[in-house]
Structure 1
Amino acid sequence: MKIVVIGTGYVGFVSGVCFSDFGHEVVCVDKDADKIARLNKGEVPIYEPGLEDVMARNVAAGRLTFTLDLAAALAGAEAVFLAVGTPTRRGDGHADLAYVFQAAEEVAKNLNHYAVIVTKSTVPVGTNRKVAEVVSKANPTLEFDVVSNPEFLREGAAINDFMRPDRVVVGVEADRAKDVMAEIYRPLFLREFPIVYTDLESAEIIKYAANAFLATKISFINEVAALCEAAGGDIKSVSKGIGLDGRIGGKFLHAGPGYGGSCFPKDTQALVKTAEDYNVPMDITKTVVAVNAAVKERMVGKIIDLCGGDVTGQRIAILGVTFKPETDDMREAPSLTIVPALQKAGASIRVVDPQGRHEGQTLLPDVEWFEDAYGAGEGVDAVVLLTEWNEFRALDLKRLAEAMAQPRMADLRNIYSADDAAKSGFSAYVSVGR
């Protein structure tokens, strides 16, 4: 089957590569000439473990190509996936759907045969029906169906998530379109991964509801962590104790500096705003957003307290600035709140991150970048463990402490313990919820 993917951002690129690995003929289209040129040279524009190998294998097999020419790409296509960005709209918090509607219109104007137009981008409820209206207006004689097929990819584990999904959600109303989608996902159906067929609106809501629920678990456990700190509890024990309840589960119950990334911040905001349009209060999700912002600010206070209440003139090393390990994504990362706040308070900042430097140099100006934790820690007054990269999970704490001017650690991912730190020579150690 021939598939066209519009947009080579994270979702579009990963989806296109994985569809080609299913055996489909895939053409990825983008307007960014530099990006397409890099892709055609075999360069992967994002960091995602395993993605480069899968891409190279399918390019070599002739199943995966990249182009700027939308009209040529659409020739013979049976499905067209819209995978363009839906960032938070400035001023009101709604998802900005301009790119989605523009892509839909351009597809309509260049398509001259029946195809299924599939929205892969994360969009608010009602968007797919508007996409259908845009297509019909741009090309009144075109035969087509619109399908909602939201993605559930975790950065750092996207290949596995695509190939071994918890579920595939397909919002579809026409049998002809359902048959096309069934053929596209046939490799997963044959391996008995769940495929949920539903209506357009339900598929759209499923995506937002799933992300909002996961974000809720994170904000909830961070609030409980604050209670543990005040009352003397241990958040690790609390998380384990409640997570073993099968109705709750242990995932997303790890206390830390708050959630970030490309999905949770904008999707929770968009869900709140969409609900307001329907005059339906989403008070829980609204509180989740507020709690997450407060958690990041609380981490700033925790670091300043560790440094004696004043960081003026102090040097602080930040270990990890991406929003999570195994990605180079800096979007809405806690570091983007914490680092500027510490700088404003008078600290000078050193940073080390295995993949964050490319984006971080622009987003975090006036910081010094280092290649490893020990170099960053040389002569500093405190070290802050902010992103739980594997290389930070087995640090030689004694070596790190000996290199520091003042051996103090803020372990915001609870990787170590106060005993570990004390035995290694740290004079002060703080974590989250303990």
Structure 2
Amino acid sequence: MKLAVIGTGYVGLVSGVCFSDLGNQVICVDNNPLKVEILERGEVPIYEPGLKELIDKNKAAGRLSFSYDTKSAVEASDIVLLAVGTPSLPNGEANLSYIEQAAKDVAEALNGFKIIATKSTVPVGTNEHIERIVSEHTNFPFSIASIPEFLREGSAIQDTFNPDRIVLGCLDQETLNTLIELHKPLTSNIITTDIRSAEMIKYASNAFLATKISFINEIANICEKVGADVTRVAEGMGYDQRIGSSFLQAGIGYGGSCFPKDTEALIQIAGNVDYEFKLLKSVVEVNKDQRFNIIRKLQEALGSLQGKNIAIWGLAFKPETDDIRDAPAIEIIEELIKLGANVKAYDPVATANFKLKVNHSSIKWCDNALETASQSDALCLLTEWSEFTRIDLVQLASLMARPILIDGRNVYDPIKVKEASFIYYSVGRPHSANISDSYAEAMS
């Protein structure tokens, strides 16, 4: 099939590239000529494992191209996918200005019947709004559909080719048949529904996953007070098929471009119809506070943080991405600076992006993990990159001024950390001073 993908962010770029790999003819469009030029040179503006290789492969095969000319891309295509950003406004609502402009541009470029499908995450009712915009700017026939995406940064290609399900929101059967045919190579688990339900499925899914994360973090906080181990609690819960084991990893909370934005937007969607989403408000509140447990543990270990050298491992909101949007590291580092600490920071790929958001004279940017930890009073792991999990703990402890390790992602074995003579704090597990012989025996 012939596709135009409007927007080359995570969703648009990954979706367009993967559809081209399935044999479709795809033009990815962005209104930033510099970004298009970068992509045409074979460079990738985002870090996503395997993406560059797929781009090179499908460009060479003639199935994939990049353009800033919306008109020519739309004219050459049968299906137009809208994948532009819908960032949060100050009140939490989704900013629809980009998708409104994209809809107008697409409408003015129509030269015949097209399917216009929204992959951007948008509030319920937005596709009807898009339909009105397109109708006002064209006399050509078209069909509107909602195809919410469920990609995870860092595994977006894997998620695209192996989706749990595809959701298609549209009431026009001919359009649905075309979209089913487009997605059939990916999975047979295709759910068709009305557009408003499709829009809500995306928000409800992300809100539920965010709720699981905040719930297990609350359980972790209780575990610390009663002497239980949240990793064992989560394991026992996860075997229950009604609950499942995914998103039950206690830590410092969620971040990124989806969960924070979508939970706030759903709260606003509810508020706009006079419904107070009390549960989701609590989820957001818990998540915002959870990251500051890192600060509280540092203060427990060191007392005042004034003048202390604090090492930070990980700046991206999760491993295998350079995305720092709403990353816990932002607020944690800003709070450390307010408290007078000197920060040494390192991330395998996200440092450049992080500097654009937070750059202060109190931060020393390091080139590797051991340099960051050297002569530090404490080390905080915020992002569970594999190079951090494979580190030699004995060597690590010997390099530090004080062997204090704050594990914000529970990646280390408490017993091995204790054997390396660390003072160890994790999330919802006994810290090193409270690891008894009986606990060690049970864990082994």
Normalising by structure 2, we get a TM-score of 0.95
Partner of 2:249: 254
* 2:160 paired residue among 162, 167, 177: 162
Partner of 1:125: 124
Could you list the per-position Cα deviations for residues 253-276 of structure 1 after superposition, in whole angstroms to 9, with x for gaps in the alignment?
Answer: 011001000100000000000011
Alignment of 1:254-273 (within 5 A): 254-273=249-268
* 1:196 paired residue among 188, 191, 201: 191
Alignment of 1:11-410 (within 5 A): 11-90=11-90, 92-139=91-138, 141-189=139-187, 192=188, 194-307=189-302, 309-366=303-360, 367-410=363-406
Q: CA shift at 1:293, angstroms?
A: 0.6
- Between the aligned residues of both structures, percent identity stands at 48
Could you list the per-position Cα deviations for residues 220-272 of structure 1 after superposition, in whole angstroms to 9, with x for gaps in the alignment?
Answer: 00000000011111101110111110100011001100100010000000000
Q: CA shift at 1:372, angstroms?
A: 1.8
Distance in 2 between residues matched to 1:238 and 1:322, nearest whole Å: 27
* 1:425 paired residue among 421, 426, 441: 421
Q: CA shift at 1:127, angstroms?
A: 0.4
Q: Secondary structure at the match of 1:293?
A: helix
Distance in 1 between residues matched to 2:183 and 2:241, nearest whole Å: 30
Distance in 1 between residues matched to 2:321 and 2:84, nearest whole Å: 20
Distance in 1 between residues matched to 2:271 and 2:355, nearest whole Å: 37
Q: CA shift at 1:311, angstroms?
A: 0.7
Q: Secondary structure at the match of 1:327?
A: coil
- Residue 340 of structure 1 aligns with an amino acid whose one-letter code is E
Distance in 2 between residues matched to 1:380 and 1:134, nearest whole Å: 57
Could you list the per-position Cα deviations for residues 178-231 of structure 1 after superposition, in whole angstroms to 9, with x for gaps in the alignment?
Answer: 122122113125xx3x11110000000000000000000000000000000111
Counterpart contact for 1:306–1:408, Cα < 8 Å: yes
Distance in 2 between residues matched to 1:70 and 1:318, nearest whole Å: 43
Counterpart contact for 2:294–2:406, Cα < 8 Å: no
Count of residues paired in the alignment: 427
Q: CA shift at 1:413, angstroms?
A: 1.0
Q: Secondary structure at the match of 1:178?
A: helix
Q: Secondary structure at the match of 2:292?
A: helix
- Residue 329 of structure 1 aligns with an amino acid whose one-letter code is D
Q: Secondary structure at the match of 1:230?
A: helix
Distance in 2 between residues matched to 1:381 and 1:83, nearest whole Å: 45
Root mean square deviation of aligned Cα? 1.0
Counterpart contact for 1:256–1:413, Cα < 8 Å: yes
Q: CA shift at 1:107, angstroms?
A: 0.4
Q: Structure 1 stretch 172-181 or stretch 310-319: which is displaced more? A: 172-181
Normalising by structure 1, we get a TM-score of 0.97
Distance in 2 between residues matched to 1:385 and 1:298, nearest whole Å: 13
Q: Secondary structure at the match of 1:154?
A: coil
Could you list the per-position Cα deviations for residues 104-161 of structure 1 after superposition, in whole angstroms to 9, with x for gaps in the alignment?
Answer: 011001112000000000001000000000100111x220010000000011111111
Counterpart contact for 1:95–1:270, Cα < 8 Å: yes
Q: Secondary structure at the match of 2:117?
A: strand
- Residue 149 of structure 1 aligns with an amino acid whose one-letter code is I
Unmatched runs of 5 consecutive residues or more in structure 2:
430-444
Distance in 1 between residues matched to 2:14 and 2:383, nearest whole Å: 23
- Residue 294 of structure 1 aligns with an amino acid whose one-letter code is D
Q: Secondary structure at the match of 2:281?
A: helix
Could you list the per-position Cα deviations for residues 38-80 of structure 1 after superposition, in whole angstroms to 9, with x for gaps in the alignment?
Answer: 0000001111111111111100000000011111111231110
- Residue 309 of structure 2 aligns with an amino acid whose one-letter code is R
- Residue 226 of structure 1 aligns with an amino acid whose one-letter code is N
Counterpart contact for 1:26–1:65, Cα < 8 Å: yes
Q: CA shift at 1:418, angstroms?
A: 3.6
Distance in 2 between residues matched to 1:77 and 1:184, nearest whole Å: 14
Q: CA shift at 1:341, angstroms?
A: 0.4
Counterpart contact for 1:47–1:328, Cα < 8 Å: yes
Q: CA shift at 1:298, angstroms?
A: 2.5
Q: CA shift at 1:297, angstroms?
A: 2.1
Q: CA shift at 1:336, angstroms?
A: 0.8
- Residue 80 of structure 2 aligns with an amino acid whose one-letter code is V
Q: Secondary structure at the match of 2:148?
A: coil
Q: CA shift at 1:329, angstroms?
A: 0.5
- Residue 35 of structure 2 aligns with an amino acid whose one-letter code is K
Q: Secondary structure at the match of 1:187?
A: coil
Distance in 2 between residues matched to 1:200 and 1:75, nearest whole Å: 25
Distance in 1 between residues matched to 2:6 and 2:412, nearest whole Å: 44
Could you list the per-position Cα deviations for residues 273-306 of structure 1 after superposition, in whole angstroms to 9, with x for gaps in the alignment?
Answer: 0011112221111110011011112222122222
